[in-house]
Amino acid sequence: GHVHITFELPALAAAELAATGLPTTFYAGPTGEPRSAILESVRGASGIVCMLSDRIDAEVMDAAGPSLKVVANYAVGYDNIDLAAARERGIVVSNTPGVLDNATADLTLALLLATARRVVEADRFLRAGNDWTWEPDLFVGLDVSGGATLGIVGLGRIGLAVARRAAAFDMRIIATGSRASSPEAAALGIRAVTLPELLAESDVVSLHCPLTASTRHLIGAPELRAMKSSAILINTARGPIVDEVALVEALRDGEIGGAGLDVYEWEPSVSAGLLALPNVVTAPHIGSAGIATRERMASLAVQNVAAVLAGLGAVTPVDGDAPGGSAEPE
Ligand code: 8YV
């Protein structure tokens, strides 16, 4: 069977795939491949390279048929893939761990700094042609460096990359997750805490756990209420980890101080309430959007497909993925 790719691969990865000699089909539309098209394109495929917006469930696997051996996600998260259905059919699922940690951590810091120091609000203020003179309280915000507490929910690879950056800003770092008490965490001065402790103590709460049944709405109305009224929430993980309706209310009612968001509960829609608030900085799910990062992600996806179809194990199968980013209860 062929390998179907639901999007246009970056150039280097496309060349790597061509070099394998595997027959391939691509979806080349401007947006994601419509589901009805996917169900057609995968017919008889031995491999699928897909992205987060493609829901790969039993119906898609059965549309491909028994030739399907591997589903390679062009993402580290794999909540778009039905793992149980894949396991039942003997289909290997792979993701792209590691290669996007720095890019995602960079964007996390960008949102953190932009929200804390009101960078976007200040930019809009000048662009709107407002008159101004220097004033002591013009766009004053949260001091990040020198002691603000960062709470990392679900410390894993990406959370550690965020912590390394935060350490350079002399932030106090606390974290939940199975790696929060690891030697790597200790070396960065991270203190392992429970989620209630993290919410109560943090000036900035940053989410880095995967989306699973136990992390869906992990941050809801009670958790938002438990945060400091000045606290900033950063989400570069997955939208549904946060109850977005509760978030809009908490921001509007001053229960928290602001939010920097790259992901949303109902992507691609973004709650109008978020966009209407000045203390919210938004981005359209661009955490891993570095040119070289995207090449490495695509290359890893191609290597996974090629390895499985050559009869070897996947390079980065999701079943072998360390649960470091898990927000599993304390
Ligand atoms: C991707 C991501 O851009 O890796 C992930 O889990 O969310 C992003 O890096 C996106 O998922 C595209 O598939």
Confirm whether 243 is domain-assigned: yes
Instruction: Kindly state whether residue 325 falls inside one of the protein's structural domains.
Output: no
180 and 63 in one domain? no
> H-helix or E-strand containing 50?
strand 47-50
Pick the atom of ligand 1 nearest to 263's CA: 7
Are 11 and 134 within one domain? no
Q: 76: CA distance to ligand 1 center in Å?
A: 6
CATH code of the domain containing 300 = 3.40.50.720
Cα torsion 139, 141, 146, 147 to 10°: value is 170
pLDDT at 320: 60
**CA angle centred on 10, ends 5 and 11, rounded to 5°:** 110
Examine the residue annotation and report whether 285 is marked as an active-site residue of this protein.
yes
Instruction: Assess if residue 327 is contained within a domain.
Output: no
Tell me whether residue 223 is one of the annotated catalytic residues.
no
Quick one: 118 and 266 in the same domain?
A: yes
Residue 30's pLDDT is what?
82
Pair (150, 202) in one structural domain: yes
Residue with the two structure tokens 């098209």:
37
Asked if residue 198 and residue 77 are part of one domain, the reply reads no
Rounded to two decimals, the ipTM of the complex is: 0.96
Residues 40 and 117 in one domain: no
Domain-embedded: residue 131? yes
Catalytic residue, chosen from 4, 238, 294, 296, is 238
Tell me: do 22 and 131 sit in the same domain.
no
Active-site residue flag, 208: no
The pocket around ligand 1, CB under 6 angstroms, is made up of 51-52, 74-77, 100, 287-288
Cα 177 to middle of ligand 1, angstroms: 21
Q: Which amino acid is located at 223 in the chain?
A: E
Q: Which DSSP letter does residue 323 get? A: G
How many structural domains is the chain composed of? 2
Closest ligand 1 atom to Cα of 50: 13
Instruction: Give the ligand 1 atom nearest the CA of 51.
Output: 13
- Check whether residue 190 and residue 230 sit in a common domain: yes
Catalytic residue, candidates 121, 267, 295, 328: 267
Model pLDDT, residue 189: 97
Ligand 1 geometric centre to CA of 240 (Å): 14
137 CA from centroid of ligand 1 (Å): 39
**262, 157: one domain:** yes
In whole angstroms, give the CA distance from residue 57 to residue 35.
11
DSSP secondary structure letter of residue 181: T
For residues 91 and 186, state if they share a domain: no
Question: What are the mean pLDDT values of the chain's consecutive 10-residue runs (330 residues total)?
Answer: 95 94 93 94 98 97 98 98 98 98 98 98 98 97 96 98 98 96 97 98 98 97 98 98 98 98 98 98 98 97 98 92 42
172 and 228 together in one domain:
yes
Handedness of CA 183, 185, 190, 194 (dihedral sign): negative
Whether residue 121 is contained in a domain is answered as yes
Structure tokens at 309: 């179809």
Q: Do 145 and 170 form a contact (C-beta atoms < 8 A)?
A: yes
In a domain, 80, yes or no: yes
Residue with tokens 């509760």: 246
Q: From the CA of 77, how far away is ligand 1's center (Å)?
A: 6
* Domain coverage including residue 60: 3-99+290-320
Tell which residue, 281, 236, 240, 306, has the closest CA to residue 76. Answer: 236
Mutate to test the pocket of ligand 1, among 288, 293, 297, 316 (most ligand atoms within 8 A of CB): 288
Structure tokens at 72: 């390679």
Could you tell me if residue 315 is inside a domain?
yes
Instruction: Say yes or no: 215 and 243 in one domain.
Output: yes
Q: Is 330 part of any domain?
A: no
